[in-house]
């Protein structure tokens, strides 16, 4: 007999089955031993009866602790008392490895679980999140592949800052130094001259000194960049890809969303078009809610949260003040104090999901903005070549993968949206 997965066994519903996995729970008497078996697909109850297995098998069964790995063969029967509605009456048991006493028990602190992340990853909560994350990655790729974009992999070691010097990680590079990438953007801007429409999903690094539930120092960004694209095209793809990803997760991960206790009715409302407001309109909305904020200040967490509370879909905010935006953001000719840029803010207080913009193609403006950021334009001479040889209007955006996963899963911290989180205070395991 071939091994099948637990979910295949549950689908099968009756007959003999051969399964393998890990002991998720165990209890027993001097005649019966109950285990709940776990594999990557689901859990199922199995019962070992002293009178129905050999002496060695029974002796082994008695010694089984949580997370021991086993192979079982037996007959499947419906049992409404069992956690997933079925039970395997075990005929053969093979212990692959006897686990030591598992350190994770009920009611442990968040910090302890983070210390034991390599084990806690096996929990039903985290494995559900990781399955949803996998759908998120797959669907992002799928959306852009269907639109004839090419996937391009950017370098991770970079000589320049893309999003300002304050959050750069410096790395020793032979006898020199480089930085870990903050965004693929500058390289993407070079590559659109060859491929026109491109995307990537790649790691990004920022030395964020904030200890929030929204910031990681190593995170993954799903980014796109396209030649001939304007602000409107960019916003259409940003809302399009978010709505598509949510739709795919609802289709493929219903079980995981249920396990996480996510209110699915909230996700079902995520349809395009999203509401669009300018930064100035956002300030007016905030003022009406009693939050006073001056033009020229970036929206902080409290303001973003206040702003999104009346919307059940993500909110797009355009035209942030030029002076607070990264150097590559162009001035809006219709409103010169603002930039041709946008953010997508998640509902339910999950913060900024996407940041994007048209890219400045005016050489002098770029130089001036870089100098204002304290950068030496000389270090960007390779980037300026993109404005010298057949410059075209273009733009792109970056979607924070963990921000999106956090919101879709309804997590209370972004740390649970990635397998091994890295923050200012955590770099292990
Ligand atoms: O808004 P950001 O900084 O935009 C850029 O880096 C552009 N160069 C992207 C582009 O146009 N290609 O970052 C994009 C998104 C944010 O909206 C947020 O979702 C996520 O990346 N992000 C973070 N996620 C987790 N931890 C952090 N420290 C993050 N910083 C940004
Ligand atoms: Mg941003």
- Whole-number Å distance, alpha carbon 122 to ligand 1 midpoint, is 29
Region 314-330: mean pLDDT is 97
Predicted local distance difference test score (pLDDT) of residue 172:
97
Predicted local distance difference test score (pLDDT) of residue 199:
99
Question: 124-146 and 231-252 helices cross at what angle (nearest 10)?
Answer: 140
- Whole-number Å distance, alpha carbon 191 to ligand 1 midpoint, is 20
Residue with the nearest Cα to atom 22 of ligand 1? 400
pTM of the model: 0.97
- Whole-number Å distance, alpha carbon 163 to ligand 2 midpoint, is 9
Domain ranges of the chain: 6-97, 114-417
- Whole-number Å distance, alpha carbon 49 to ligand 2 midpoint, is 60
- Give yes or no for a contact between 393 and 196, defined as CB atoms under 8 angstroms apart: no
pLDDT at 212 over 90: no
- 374-394 tens-digit pLDDT: 999 999 999 999 999 999 999
**Across the chain, what does the average pLDDT equal?**
97
Region 104-109: mean pLDDT is 93
Predicted local distance difference test score (pLDDT) of residue 177:
95
Residue with the nearest Cα to atom 1 of ligand 1? 355
Q: What is the DSSP string of 197-253?
A: EEEEEEEEE-------SS--SEEEEEEEEEET--HHHHHHHHHHHHHHHHHHHHHH-
- Of the chain, the percentage scoring pLDDT greater than 70 comes to 100
Tokens of 113: 């679980």
- Give yes or no for a contact between 76 and 17, defined as CB atoms under 8 angstroms apart: yes
Predicted local distance difference test score (pLDDT) of residue 409:
98
CA distance 155 to 288: 45
- 268-278 tens-digit pLDDT: 999 999 999 99
Q: Which of 192, 237, 403, 404 to mutate to test the pocket of ligand 1 (most atoms within 8 A of CB)?
A: 403
Predicted local distance difference test score (pLDDT) of residue 221:
98
- Which residues does a 6 A CB cutoff place in the pocket of ligand 1? 162-163, 183, 185, 206, 208, 215-216, 219, 221, 223, 352-356, 396-398, 400, 402-403
Confidence of residue 154 (pLDDT cuts 50, 70, 90): very high
Confidence of residue 160 (pLDDT cuts 50, 70, 90): confident
| Highest CATH level, class, for 114-417 | alpha beta
Q: Which atom of ligand 1 is nearest to the CA of 352?
A: 17
- Whole-number Å distance, alpha carbon 248 to ligand 2 midpoint, is 25
Phi, psi of 407 (to 5 degrees): -70, -50
Confidence of residue 280 (pLDDT cuts 50, 70, 90): very high
- Whole-number Å distance, alpha carbon 251 to ligand 2 midpoint, is 30
List, in sequence order, every residue forming a beta bridge with 38; answer none if it has no partner: 22, 43
Q: Which atom of ligand 1 is nearest to the CA of 225?
A: 12
Buried b (16+ CB within 10 A) or exposed e, 24-51: bebeeeeeebbbbbbbebbbbbbbbebe
| Highest CATH level, class, for 6-97 | mainly beta
CA distance 229 to 226: 6
- Give yes or no for a contact between 162 and 271, defined as CB atoms under 8 angstroms apart: no
Predicted local distance difference test score (pLDDT) of residue 161:
83
Ligand at minimal distance from the CA of 222 is 1
CA distance 186 to 233: 20
Ligand at minimal distance from the CA of 357 is 1
Q: Which of 167, 188, 209, 219 to mutate to test the pocket of ligand 1 (most atoms within 8 A of CB)?
A: 219
Helix or strand run (H / E) with residue 321: none
């Amino acid at each position: 007999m071939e091994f099948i997965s637990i979910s295949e066994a549950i689908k099968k519903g009756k007959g003999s089955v051969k399964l393998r996995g890990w002991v998720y729970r165990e209890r027993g008497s001097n005649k019966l031993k109950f285990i709940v078996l776990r594999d990557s697909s689901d859990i199922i109850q199995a019962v070992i009866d002293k009178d129905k297995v050999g002496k060695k098998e029974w002796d082994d069964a008695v010694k089984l602790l949580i997370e021991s790995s086993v192979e079982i063969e037996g007959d499947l029967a419906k049992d409404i008392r069992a956690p997933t509605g079925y039970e395997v009456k075990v005929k053969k048991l093979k212990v692959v490895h006897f686990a030591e006493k598992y350190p994770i028990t009920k009611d442990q602190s968040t910090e302890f679980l983070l210390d034991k992340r390599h084990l806690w990853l096996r929990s039903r909560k985290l494995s559900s999140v990781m399955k949803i994350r996998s759908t998120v990655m797959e669907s992002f790729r799928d959306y852009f592949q269907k639109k004839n974009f090419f996937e391009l992999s950017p370098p991770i070691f970079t000589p320049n800052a893309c999003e300002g010097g304050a959050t750069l990680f410096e790395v020793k590079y032979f006898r020199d130094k480089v930085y870990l990438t903050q965004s693929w953007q500058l390289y993407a801007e070079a590559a659109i001259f060859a491929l026109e429409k491109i995307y990537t999903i790649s790691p990004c690094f920022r030395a964020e000194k904030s200890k929030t539930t929204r910031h990681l120092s190593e995170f993954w960004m799903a980014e796109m960049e396209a030649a001939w694209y304007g602000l409107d095209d960019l916003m259409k793809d940003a809302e399009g890809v978010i709505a598509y990803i949510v739709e795919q997760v609802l289709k493929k991960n219903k079980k995981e969303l249920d396990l996480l206790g996510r209110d699915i009715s909230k996700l079902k409302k995520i349809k395009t078009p999203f509401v669009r407001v300018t930064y100035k309109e956002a300030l007016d909305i905030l003022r009406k809610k009693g939050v006073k904020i001056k033009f020229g200040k970036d929206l902080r967490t409290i303001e973003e949260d206040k702003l999104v509370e009346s919307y059940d879909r993500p909110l797009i905010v355009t035209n942030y003040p030029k002076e607070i935006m990264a150097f590559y953001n162009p001035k809006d000719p219709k409103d010169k104090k603002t930039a041709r840029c946008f953010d997508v803010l998640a509902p339910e207080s999950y913060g900024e999901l996407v940041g994007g913009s048209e890219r400045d193609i005016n050489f002098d403006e770029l130089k001036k903005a870089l100098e204002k950021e304290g950068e030496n334009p000389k270090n960007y001479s390779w980037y300026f070549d993109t404005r010298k040889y057949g410059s075209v209007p273009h733009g792109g955006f970056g979607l924070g993968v963990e921000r999106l996963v956090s919101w879709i899963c309804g997590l209370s911290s972004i740390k649970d949206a990635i397998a091994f989180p890295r923050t200012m205070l955590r770099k292990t395991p």
